[in-house]
Amino acid sequence: MLTSVLPRLRRAGSNATAGQIVAAVAIAAFLLLFLALPVAQVMIAAFQPKGGGGFTLVNFVDFFNTELFVRSFWNSLYVSGMSVLVATLIALPLAYITARFEFRGALLIQTLGVVPLIMPPFVGAVAMQLLFGRNGTINLLLQDHFDITIPFMEGLNGVVLVQAIHYFPFILINLTTALNNIDRSMEEAAQSLGCSGIRLFRRIVFPLAMPGYIAGAALVFIKVFDDLATPLLLNVKDMLAPQAYLRVTSIGIADPMGYVISVVLIVFSLLSMWASTFALRGRDYATTQRGGGGLDRRKLGPVQAVAAYGTVIAILLLVLAPHIALTLLSFATVWSFSPLPDAYTLAHYGKVFEESAVYMKNTVLYAGLAAAIDIVLGVAIAYLVLRTKLVGRQWLDYGAMAALAVPGVVLGIGYLRSFYGITLPDGTPLATLWIVIVLALAVRRLPYALRACFAALQQVSEALEEAGENLGATKARVIRRIIVPLMTGGILAGFVTSFATAAVELSATIMLVQSNADAPLTYGLYVFMQSPAGRGPGAALGIIAVILVAACTFISHLLIERHRRRSGAIR
């Protein structure tokens, strides 16, 4: 069967090798089995009249006739757009300062800059409220001293603020990587032509870093569009993702509207993905030379240093505020309607210490495996789409990106429906194995790794590959020895985002966790946060999660930095 298909496919894909075709088919099979089929099992309800059977589009008519859903759609659009804007304002100075100047602690910024992504569900919410809420620390102080309050967390703009703080690392990571990949000679050429300062940045540097920025911005846009945790925690219900979630989880299969909204989410996410690739189409961002780490790094003058450190510290304080509040909460006895806790204790850590070992082990294992799967798939898909002419290669990209828009609970239910019926030889269902959680996490976080790999590969010139091939290297060898090493920065960025976000995922895993021994940290957190006495231990567990993921991030940055220095020295 395969032998008869291969030549035909090869002809269709002109210069595709057998290896590429096999890879493409394998990836397609993976996406079909672990994303498309499970989701389709659930989504089919969107196209059926209530009660099942037959095919209808009447549910979509209902969607557009319902004022609430239409309002939700526009609200989601507004919040996503504004979040990208605010996230850019946060990420740009951090990325620029670290890439442009000799800046002590750049590594620390790159690590701390990822920490906002690691916002464990529930505890993050509680901590934010304690600090920025209507009766949070800041507003209580303002009320006491100036008799004013600021509605940081109210309404759509509250959602924008929280989302921007939460997801700006997507832009930061991808932009930093892109800036570090820019060919120094471009900048020097511009400078020798008399261009400098803001103009140099606006006309040369930023445009060259565009793939990274767009990759990050697109992720922020879609993620915010599909995110339900933040709006729900701020009690904003008239946005699309919360509407889908509320309907799917409270009404269920008897009502198709939740699934209709999910379909709308997926279609819209694909549209914005397509728009972002369209924005980059027809331009060349590749550079042939590795300038030993991007832009020429300048020394900071004394005034510049003060300004740079001031900016960085101010931004980090803002974006790490939730984690500061979480730390306080984890040591607090009682913290209620007061700027600071009544007293401090170590008891919460004592309480979770015993249990956290198994949660930590599971989290690192699951998120690590999932991120590893993601970067393998990410590199492969990026290569197939950008470097081959395989028919339908674009669909691998779209298919993988669709995962971003699938609500976690829909994926979780889909997995149960698809894999619970399959039994292992000893009679236990396939879905009870922890590997299923890993697969769900890998599918959910694949888009993050994929975008990073894409941006990285877009900056690698094809001339380098051709040179390799001209010297007699096989395609596989070129990938292994040239492409992947040149993409390392992007691959790491992808790994870190996938890992960090998979480590705090809850919506899909909560459907799939079958026993406490197999549970990750977030599940433990969820269990703690459902009771008044569990708030402190929950926060402690949250801090443990943050430290754990931050440590993993730091170590991977350290490794890549060492790798870069070593390879730089060889050159």
Partner 1 sequence: MTRSLHLLLGTLCALSISVSVHAQTGKVTVVTSFSKDVTTPIKTAFEKAYPGANLDVQNRNTNAGVKFLQETKANNQVDLFWASAPDAFEVLKSNNLLQAYKPKATGIPEKVGSYPINDPQGYYFGFAASGYGIMWNTRYMQAKKLPEPKEWDDLLKPVYFDHVAIAAPSRSGTTHLTVETILQGEGWEKGWRTLRLMAGNFRQITERSFGVPEGVNSGQFGLGVVIDFFAFSSEASGFPVKFAYPTVTTLVPANVGIVANAPNMAAAQAFVEFLLSPAGQEVLLEPGIRRLPVIPAVYDKPAAKGLPNPFKDTSLGARVKFDVDASEKRTAAVDALYDQTITFQHEALKAATKAVHDAEAALAKKDNAQGRTLVKEAKDLIGTMPVTEAEVASDAVAKAFTGSKEPGARQAELEQKWAAFAKENYAKAKDKADQAAKLAR
CA distance 445 to 494: 9
Q: Please, which residue, 235 or 288, has the CB nearer to partner 1?
A: 235
Q: From the CB of 50, what's the least distance to partner 1, in Å?
A: 4
Q: From the CB of 446, what's the least distance to partner 1, in Å?
A: 24
Give CA separation, 141 vs 124, 151, 154, 161, 456, in Å. 21, 14, 18, 20, 46
Q: Which residues of 508-533 are buried (b: 16+ CB within 10 A; e: fewer)?
A: bbbbbbeeeebbbbbbbbbbbbeeee
CA distance 94 to 88: 10
Cβ-contact 184, 294 below 8 angstroms: yes
In three-state secondary structure terms, 195 is: coil
Q: From the CB of 64, what's the least distance to partner 1, in Å?
A: 11
Q: Please, which residue, 86 or 233, has the CB nearer to partner 1?
A: 233
CA distance 505 to 439: 13
In three-state secondary structure terms, 211 is: helix
Q: Please, which residue, 43 or 493, has the CB nearer to partner 1?
A: 43
Q: From the CB of 418, what's the least distance to partner 1, in Å?
A: 10
- Give 429's strand partners: 423
Backbone dihedral region of 53: left (phi > 0), alpha (psi from -120 to 50 degrees) or beta? left
- List, in order, residues 6 or more apart from 134 with CB less than 8 Å away: 149, 151, 153, 154
Count the helices and strands in the chain (H runs, E runs): 28, 0
Rg of the chain over Cα atoms, rounded to whole angstroms, equals 24
Query: Measured on CA atoms in the order 560, 563, 568, 571, is the torsion positive or negative?
Result: negative
Q: From the CB of 139, what's the least distance to partner 1, in Å?
A: 10
Q: Please, which residue, 324 or 559, has the CB nearer to partner 1?
A: 324
Give CA separation, 192 vs 189, 198, 290, 301, in Å. 5, 16, 20, 22
Q: Please, which residue, 154 or 561, has the CB nearer to partner 1?
A: 154
User: Which tokens is 514 given?
Assistant: 């079958």
Q: From the CB of 33, what's the least distance to partner 1, in Å?
A: 18
3-state helix, strand, coil split of the chain in percent (to 5) is 75, 0, 20
Q: From the CB of 503, what's the least distance to partner 1, in Å?
A: 19
Q: Please, which residue, 22 or 141, has the CB nearer to partner 1?
A: 141
User: Which tokens is 315 given?
Assistant: 């931004």
Q: Please, which residue, 145 or 566, has the CB nearer to partner 1?
A: 145
Residues that bind partner 1 (CB under 8 A): 49-53, 58-59, 62-63, 65-68, 126, 129-130, 133-136, 232, 235, 237-238, 242, 246, 249-252, 254-255, 257, 333-338, 409, 413, 416-417, 420-421, 423, 428-429, 431-432, 510-511, 513-516, 523, 526-535
Q: Please, which residue, 146 or 337, has the CB nearer to partner 1?
A: 337
Q: Please, which residue, 306 or 424, has the CB nearer to partner 1?
A: 424
Q: From the CB of 173, what's the least distance to partner 1, in Å?
A: 31
In three-state secondary structure terms, 425 is: coil
Q: Please, which residue, 109 or 241, has the CB nearer to partner 1?
A: 241
